[in-house]
């Protein structure tokens, strides 16, 4: 049999060009196909045929022929617009006719789409990341794949040994930069030290990436002890004073001099730093020696080149062979690839990431959550639209009789849904604006996102609304288009389907479960919060005033305040109790192989007694001795130390990092120095006059205002250069639990969304059943049924579904929240209790009841004669 | 009146380079000038790979300008019984080609730079 070119093309042409003359053109196309087929494969010829056909389809030749055949000069191109205009007109009339229906739908879809908008905005913004660098499409990052016994791991970092090799031996690179992100400078100031994250890097960093300098030169990265600050950090530290030349006192890197300051730069970059320093002997050079292949955490390489990535990869592979020995020693196999910096966000999930990375799996989760909220809202719309069919049937019947094909009915309903979605998206954008800031504050790396409403974002939002509208409207549209005109005009559309299908029941139960579990979640969080605030953490917190001081003023403050009559007791510490700790030291065992990390708190001698902290053993008094430092440890640390120092467990001498020997003179009973959600970690208390940045005063007075002003006066005369700041320990601790508030807000939002949407769904379902059972209700009424019985008949089904939902939701949320409390919040309040469950189910139940009863009573109240007469 | 008719009228006097090529090819092919034949001839002589759409657009424009006429041939077995559309030069087309050639010759002769490749 002779081969034929694809038939579809001819059909396509016929449909698209209606009755324009095509015979000669199609003939030409066929001939071309056979010419091509003579010396090419069938696939090639078909592809060629399609290509030619498409080019022809959109050519001037076809346009001209269509114009010649059309009845009027305008008709061929404007047919679509006229119909669309008609659809829109009819849609607006229908929308205006069914106001309740429309408002319910707009609320439902608006709420449903709001989370979707957040996800979209995040995605759109991430797509824009790092585009502002010049020639950003030519900048790549070197990433490593390490295989060990068949398991493969992807790292964003690469071996430091490559640094010299790539910089010197690979040709064709425009720029090359090595970044090490282990630069955590903690800057000492009054009160809490400022923790900064920064990079060790090379001057080429500022050439490759567009971070412009405001003052100073990038060459300072070649000088040891000099750093570059970002605009924000410089503002925070020095305000409007010139930052250049200032000395920063850091805890771990000594004194650093500010050599240059950056201008403000766009936030849309995965590189996240406050401070930059050059490589020097002191810091990361030891890690970047030429033999260091296998320990590469925190070392990143960026390169810029207009070569193909595969070419560079091949060159890297050839020089990386010298590292194979080192990897083989550890049974590893390393392979290096290039990743465009434009693919970092959102990108593959890599180990040891640098800066702000939102990986694709996380984005999928986000979109999943958005769909979880959106899909019920869309299905509710379909349900309600179908339930409303009776009201629309006359319109559809008449249109069909007038000769409109199914496709026009479908288009009518799609246009209607799209209009409703487009209106609803305004509500979504409003909600989006409300919750944007909250979301950003809780996302790790949220500071890099702005989520400002830009024209581009708005276009994306409206497209999203249109797509949602089309998908949502499809089900009711197809349903309506299939109604036969006779049925439609006799209003017998729904009569054979009185019951609700199993799928819809399952959907409703699912929505109930969702809203119940969010509600229970709020209850649990509130309980946790309440308990956290009132829990006895093991130290006194009443009437304690906290004043941040500079360490060098400690003695001065102590002397001056001891004469204030209202201050009954005082002590000094490096960190307030009840607030997370940042500093830690390591304790080593005798062999120096294993270590225990311990949180470190510097205090004066009064601290333990002042704060009423119980001692387990020993004395709370530390003496500054010349030979061995005396320290206090908590029980946790004592137990761990005993474990690793079996040979002389009772010597009470321990070794800290740096080979420093300390003597343990007392053991403190474990108490929650950090917030309750942190476990009680090993902790050590040391004396350290130069570290005391908080003064704690116990105040006993009847006239707080005058006492405070008295203290402030003394402070101002003593230390005029630092403003007096004071707060009560209680309120500081409350601040430390503010993450609960964020959690409660998020759960609250999700619960409101889920409950509203499920109530709308319920309402739709109730409308559907009651509308279809009007006749039944009328007959029951004439036969003498009372209203309770009728209510039961109409809504008994929903109560049953409610029961099922409770049956699923309570055990599920009990398990879920209890597990979460155990792992994240360090369960201390007993998890899910009876009250939360009872209150949340009652609340959701009553909301649902309102929906059911209002609709049912409406049907019950109508005169039965009305319903029966018309049949 | 179609809105773009004025546009066409103003275009009438000009003959684009590609349009000239198509007209000359049709003149070369004489009685055998239909879509695919023109396409292949241009590919063979000028080495240009065209799409059928591009060619037919140009043919339609030339017909609009009155440089070309066309008629349908007899049904052919090779193209599923479909007829070919043959194109012929009108006298206007011949005139336009002549005008173009004389303009070229004039410009060549008037050239002050030695254009010969020898």
* pLDDT tens digits, one per residue of A97-111: 888 778 888 988 999
- Which of the listed ranges A19-23, A282-286, A448-452, A566-570 does the model predict with the highest average pLDDT? A566-570
Residue B88 lies in a domain: yes
Supply the range of the domain harboring residue B60: 16-110
A704 CB within 8 Å of a chain B CB: no
- Region B54-70: mean pLDDT is 90
Q: How many domains does chain B have?
A: 1
Q: Are residues A691 and A659 in the same domain?
A: yes
The residue count for chain B = 118
Q: State the Cα–Cα distance between residues A60 and B42, nearest whole angstrom.
A: 20
Asked whether the beta carbons of residue B56 and residue A56 sit closer than 8 angstroms, the reply is yes
The pLDDT confidence band at residue B1, using thresholds 50, 70 and 90, is very low
Among A497, A528, A559, identify where a domain stops: A497
pLDDT 10s digits, A319-340: 888 778 778 777 778 888 888 8
Q: What is the pLDDT of residues A720-741, one digit of tens each?
A: 777 787 888 888 888 877 777 7
Q: Which H or E run includes A309?
A: helix A309-319
What is the model's pLDDT at position A110? 92
End-to-end CA distance of chain A: 63
**Mean pLDDT, residues A353-362:** 79
Q: Which two tokens stand for residue B41?
A: 């001839």
Residue A342 has pLDDT above 50, yes or no: yes
Contact A29 B52 (CB under 8 A): yes
Structural domain contains residue B37: yes
Residue whose pair of structure tokens reads 């640098």 in the numeric block: A354
Max CA-CA distance within chain A?
112
d(CA B9, CA A204): 61
Contacts with B84 from chain A: Cβ below 8 Å: 24, 27-28
Please tell me whether residues A179 and A316 are part of one structural domain: yes
Residue B21 resides in a domain: yes
Is A273 a member of any domain? yes
Rounded Cα distance, A117 and A370, in Å: 8
pLDDT of residue A690: 78
Residue B118 domain flag:
no
pLDDT of residue B105: 92
Question: For A31, which of B59, B61, B78 is closest by C-beta distance?
Answer: B78
pLDDT of residue A440: 78
* Residue A92, CA atoms < 13 Å, CB-side half-sphere: 5
User: Would an 8 Å CB–CB cutoff place B75 in contact with chain A?
Assistant: no
A456 & A509 share domain:
no
- pLDDT-wise least confident of A4-18, A172-186, A682-696, A698-712: A4-18
Could you say which of B54, B60, B82 has the minimum Cβ distance to residue A26?
A: B82
pLDDT 10s digits, A9-45 = 888 787 777 677 888 888 888 888 888 888 888 888 8
Kindly state whether residue B61 falls inside one of the protein's structural domains: yes
Per the domain annotation, does B72 fall within a domain?
Answer: yes
Phi, psi (deg, nearest 5) at residue A630: -95, 140
Query: Does the pLDDT at position B6 exceed 50?
Result: no
DSSP A246-304: PEEEBSSS-EEEEEEEEPP--S--S---SEEEE--TTTGGGGGSTT--S--TTEEEEEE
Q: What is the pLDDT of residue B102?
A: 92
DSSP states of A672-722:
-SS-TTS----EEEEE-GGG--EEEEEE--S-HHHHHHHHHHHHHHH-TTS
A604: helix, strand or coil = coil
Helices (H) and strands (E) in chain B, counts: 5, 2
Helix (H, G, I), strand (E, B) or coil at A799: helix
* Residue A73: closest C-alpha in chain B: B2
pLDDT digits (tens, 9 = 90+) for A611-654: 888 888 777 777 776 677 888 888 888 887 766 555 554 556 77
Domain enclosing residue A153, as ranges: 136-343
Domain assignment present for B117: no
The winner for highest mean pLDDT among A592-596, A718-722, B44-48 is B44-48
User: Cβ separation of A51 and B61 shorter than 8 Å?
Assistant: no
Q: Tell me if A564 is assigned to some domain.
A: yes
CA-based nearest residue to A65, from A10, A18, A12: A18
Q: What pLDDT shows up at residue A416?
A: 92
How many contacts, defined by CB atoms under 8 Å, are there between A and B? 75
- Average pLDDT across chain B, whole number: 83
Neighbouring residues of A859: CB distance < 8 A, sequence distance ≥ 6: A770, A771, A773, A774, A777, A794
Pick from A290, A305, A288, A265: which is nearest to A202 by CA? A288
Query: What length does chain A have?
Result: 871
CA–CA gap between residue B28 and residue B30 (Å, rounded):
5
Alpha-carbon gap, residue A346 to A140, rounded angstroms: 15
Q: How confident is residue B94, by pLDDT bands cut at 50, 70 and 90?
A: very high
Task: Tell me: do A742 and A863 sit in the same domain.
Answer: yes
Q: Is residue A594 part of a domain?
A: yes
Answer whether B72 touches A (CB < 8 Å): yes
A315 and A234 in a single domain? The answer is yes
Do A149 and A252 lie in a common domain?
A: yes
Average model confidence (pLDDT) across chain A: 80
What gap in Å lies between CA A125 and CA B82, rounded to an integer? 55
Report the share of chain A in percent with pLDDT over 70. 89
Q: Give B-chain residues touching A64 at CB under 8 angstroms.
A: 60, 64
On whether residue A726 sits in a domain, the answer given is no
Tell whether B52 is covered by a domain. Answer: yes
A625 and A657 part of one domain:
yes
The alpha carbon dihedral of A229, A233, A237, A243 has a sign of positive
**Domain count of the fold of chain A:** 5
A204-216 CB burial, b ≥16 within 10 A, e <16:
bbbebbebeeeeb
Residue-wise pLDDT tens digits, A206-255: 888 888 888 888 888 888 888 898 888 888 888 778 888 888 888 777 78
CA distances from A88 to A83, A279, A348, A367, A458 (A): 9, 66, 44, 31, 22
Residue among A27, A52, A59 whose CB faces B57 most closely: A59
A112 pLDDT higher than 80: yes
Look at residue A761 and tell me whether its pLDDT is greater than 70: yes
Verify that A846 and A788 share a domain, yes or no.
Answer: yes
**A349 within a domain of the structure (yes/no):** no
A332 and A405 co-located in one domain: no
Least confident window among A82-86, A653-657, B15-19, B55-59: A653-657
Integer Cα distance of A391 and A382 in angstroms: 15
**Do A332 and A184 fall within a single domain?**
yes
Structure confidence at residue B4 (pLDDT): 43
Tokens for A234, please give them: 């410089």
pLDDT at A608: 86
pLDDT score of B12 more than 90: no
Q: What is the mean pLDDT of residues A794-812?
A: 83
CB contact under 8 A, A73 and B40: no
Of A69, A90, A112, the one marking the end of a domain is: A69
CB contact under 8 A, B52 and A57: no
pLDDT tens-place string over residues A265-299: 888 888 888 888 888 755 545 445 666 777 677 78
CATH number assigned to the domain comprising residue B93: 1.10.10.10
B5 confidence band (pLDDT: 50, 70, 90): very low
Last residue of a domain, which of A343, A369, A400? A343
A30 touches chain B (CB under 8 A): yes
Residues of B in contact with A49 (CB under 8 A): none
pLDDT value, residue A80: 56
Residue A542 counted as domain residue? no
Chain A: closest CA distance from residue B94 (Å): 23
Q: Which residues of chain A have a CB within 8 Å of the CB of B34? A: 24, 28
* pLDDT at position A649: 46
For residue A501, the model assigns a pLDDT of 65
Q: Are residues A124 and A267 in the same domain?
A: no
**How far is Cα A240 from Cα A233, in angstroms, rounded to an integer?**
12
Q: Do A58 and B53 touch (CB under 8 A)?
A: yes
Quote the radius of gyration of chain A (alpha carbons, Å).
Answer: 36
Q: Do A30 and B56 touch (CB under 8 A)?
A: no
pLDDT band at A414 (very low <50, low <70, confident <90, very high): very high
Q: Is the dihedral of CA A358, A364, A367, A369 positive or negative?
A: negative
The listed range with the strongest mean pLDDT (A83-87, A140-144, A654-658) is A140-144
In this prediction, residue B98 carries a pLDDT of 92
Chain A neighbors of B51, CB-CB under 8 A: 51-52, 55-56
Single out the residue of A475, A473, A479 nearest to residue A406, CA to CA.
A479
Measure CB to CB from residue A52 to each of B52, B64, B72 and give the nearest one.
B52
**What's the CA gap between A4 and A6, in Å, rounded?**
6
DSSP A17-73: HTTS--HHHHHHHHHHHHHHHHTS-HHHHHHHHHHHHHHHHTSHHHHHHHHHHSSST
Residue A781 pLDDT > 70:
yes
Of B34, B52, B61, the CB nearest to A55: B52
Predicted pLDDT of residue A643 = 60
In the predicted model, what is the mean pLDDT of residues A547-567? 83
Q: Are residues A493 and A508 in the same domain?
A: no
Q: Which two tokens stand for residue A228?
A: 């570059």
Q: Which two tokens stand for residue A323?
A: 């590292």
Q: How far apart are CA B88 and CA B71, in angstroms?
A: 8
Q: Do B82 and A27 touch (CB under 8 A)?
A: yes
Residue A224's CB is within 10 A of a number of other CB atoms, namely 12
Distance set, CA A538 to CA A615, A674, A682 (Å): 11, 11, 15
């Amino acid at each position: 049999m002779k081969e034929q070119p694809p038939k579809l093309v001819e059909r396509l042409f016929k449909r698209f060009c209606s009755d324009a003359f095509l015979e000669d053109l199609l003939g030409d196309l066929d001939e071309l196909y056979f010419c091509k087929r003579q010396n090419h494969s069938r696939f090639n010829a078909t592809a060629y045929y399609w290509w030619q056909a498409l080019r022809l389809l959109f050519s001037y030749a076809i346009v001209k022929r269509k114009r010649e055949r059309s009845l009027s000069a305008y008709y061929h191109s404007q047919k679509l617009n006229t119909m669309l205009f008609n659809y829109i007109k009819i849609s607006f009339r229908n929308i205006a006719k069914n106001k309740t229906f429309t408002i319910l739908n707009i609320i439902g879809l608006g709420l449903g789409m709001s989370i979707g908008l957040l996800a979209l905005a995040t995605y759109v913004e991430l797509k824009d990341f790092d585009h502002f660098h010049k020639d950003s499409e030519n900048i790549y990052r070197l990433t490593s794949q390490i295989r060990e016994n068949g398991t493969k791991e992807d790292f964003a970092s690469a071996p430091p040994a490559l640094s010299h090799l790539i910089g010197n031996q690979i040709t064709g690179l425009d720029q090359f930069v090595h970044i090490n992100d282990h630069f955590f400078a903690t800057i000492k100031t009054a009160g809490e030290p400022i923790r900064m994250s920064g990079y060790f890097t090379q001057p080429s960093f500022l050439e490759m990436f567009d971070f412009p300098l405001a003052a100073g030169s990038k060459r300072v990265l070649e000088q040891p002890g000099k750093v570059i600050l970002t605009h924000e950090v410089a503002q925070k530290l020095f305000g409007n004073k010139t930052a250049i030349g200032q000395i920063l006192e850091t805890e771990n890197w000594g004194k650093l001099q500010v050599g240059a300051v950056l201008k403000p730069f766009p936030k849309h970059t995965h590189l996240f730093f406050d401070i930059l320093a050059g490589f020097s002997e002191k810091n990361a050079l030891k890690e970047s020696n030429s033999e260091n292949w296998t320990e590469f955490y925190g070392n990143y390489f960026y390169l810029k080149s207009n070569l193909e990535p595969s070419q560079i990869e091949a060159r890297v592979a050839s020089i990386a062979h010298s590292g194979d020995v080192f990897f083989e020693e550890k049974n590893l196999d390393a392979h290096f690839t290039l990743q465009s910096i434009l693919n970092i966000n959102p990108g593959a999930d890599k180990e040891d990431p640098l800066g702000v990375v939102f990986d694709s799996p996380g984005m999928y989760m986000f979109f999943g959550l958005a769909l979880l909220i959106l899909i019920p809202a869309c299905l509710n719309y379909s349900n309600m639209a179908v339930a409303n069919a009776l009201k629309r049937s006359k319109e559809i019947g008449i249109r069909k009789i007038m000769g409109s094909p199914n496709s026009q009915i479908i288009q009518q309903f799609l246009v209607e849904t799209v209009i409703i979605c487009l209106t609803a998206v305004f509500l979504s954008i409003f909600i989006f604006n409300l919750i944007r800031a909250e979301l950003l504050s809780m996302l790790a790396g949220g500071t890099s996102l702005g989520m400002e409403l830009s024209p581009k974002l708005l276009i994306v939002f409206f497209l999203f609304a249109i797509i949602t509208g089309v998908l949502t409207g499809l089900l009711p549209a197809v349903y309506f288009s299939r109604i036969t005109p006779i049925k439609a005009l006799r209003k017998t559309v729904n009569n054979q389907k009185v019951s609700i299908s199993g799928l819809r029941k399952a959907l409703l139960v699912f929505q109930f479960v969702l809203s119940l579990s969010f509600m229970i979640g709020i209850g649990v969080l509130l309980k946790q919060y309440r308990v956290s605030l009132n829990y006895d953490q093991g130290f006194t917190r009443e009437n304690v005033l906290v004043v941040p001081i500079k360490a060098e003023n400690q003695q001065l403050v102590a002397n001056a305040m001891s004469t204030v009559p209202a201050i009954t007791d005082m002590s000094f510490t490096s960190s307030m109790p009840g607030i997370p700790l940042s500093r830690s030291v390591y304790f080593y065992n005798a062999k120096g192989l294993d270590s225990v990390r311990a949180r470190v708190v510097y205090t004066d001698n009064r601290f333990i007694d002042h704060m009423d902290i119980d001692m387990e053993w020993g004395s709370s008094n530390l003496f500054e001795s010349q030979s061995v430092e005396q320290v206090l440890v908590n029980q946790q640390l004592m137990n761990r130390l005993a474990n690793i120092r079996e040979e002389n467990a009772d010597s009470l001498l321990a070794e800290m990092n740096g080979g420093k020997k300390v003597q343990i003179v007392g053991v403190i009973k474990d108490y929650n120095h950090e917030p309750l959600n942190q476990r009680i970690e090993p902790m050590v208390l040391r004396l350290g006059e130069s570290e005391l940045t908080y003064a704690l005063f116990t105040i006993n007075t009847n006239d707080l205002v005058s006492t405070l002003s008295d203290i402030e006066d003394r402070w101002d005369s003593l230390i005029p250069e630092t403003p007096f700041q004071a707060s009560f320990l209680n309120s500081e601790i409350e601040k430390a639990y503010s993450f609960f508030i964020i959690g409660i807000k998020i759960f609250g939002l999700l619960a409101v969304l889920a409950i509203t949407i499920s109530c709308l769904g319920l309402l739709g379902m109730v409308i559907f059943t009651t509308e279809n059972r009007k006749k039944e209700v009328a007959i029951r009424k004439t036969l003498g049924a009372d209203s309770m019985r009728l209510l039961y008949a109409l809504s008994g089904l929903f109560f049953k579904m409610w029961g099922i939902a409770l049956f699923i939701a309570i055990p599920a949320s009990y398990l879920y929240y209890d597990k979460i409390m155990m792992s994240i919040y360090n369960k201390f309040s007993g998890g899910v209790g009876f009250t939360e469950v009872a209150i949340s189910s009652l609340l959701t139940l009553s909301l649902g009841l309102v929906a059911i009863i209002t609709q049912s009573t409406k049907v019950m109240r109508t005169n039965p004669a009305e319903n029966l007469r018309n049949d | 009146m179609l809105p773009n008719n004025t546009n066409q009228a103003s275009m009438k006097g000009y003959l684009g380079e590609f349009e000239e090529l198509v007209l000359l090819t049709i003149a070369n092919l004489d009685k055998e000038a239909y879509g695919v034949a023109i396409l292949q001839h241009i590919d063979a002589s000028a080495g240009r790979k065209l799409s059928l759409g591009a060619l037919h657009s140009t043919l339609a424009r030339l017909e609009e300008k009155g440089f070309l006429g066309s008629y349908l041939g007899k049904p052919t077995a090779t193209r599923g019984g479909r007829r070919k559309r043959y194109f012929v030069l009108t006298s206007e087309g011949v005139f336009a080609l002549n005008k173009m050639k004389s303009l070229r010759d004039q410009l060549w002769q008037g050239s002050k730079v030695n254009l010969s490749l020898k």
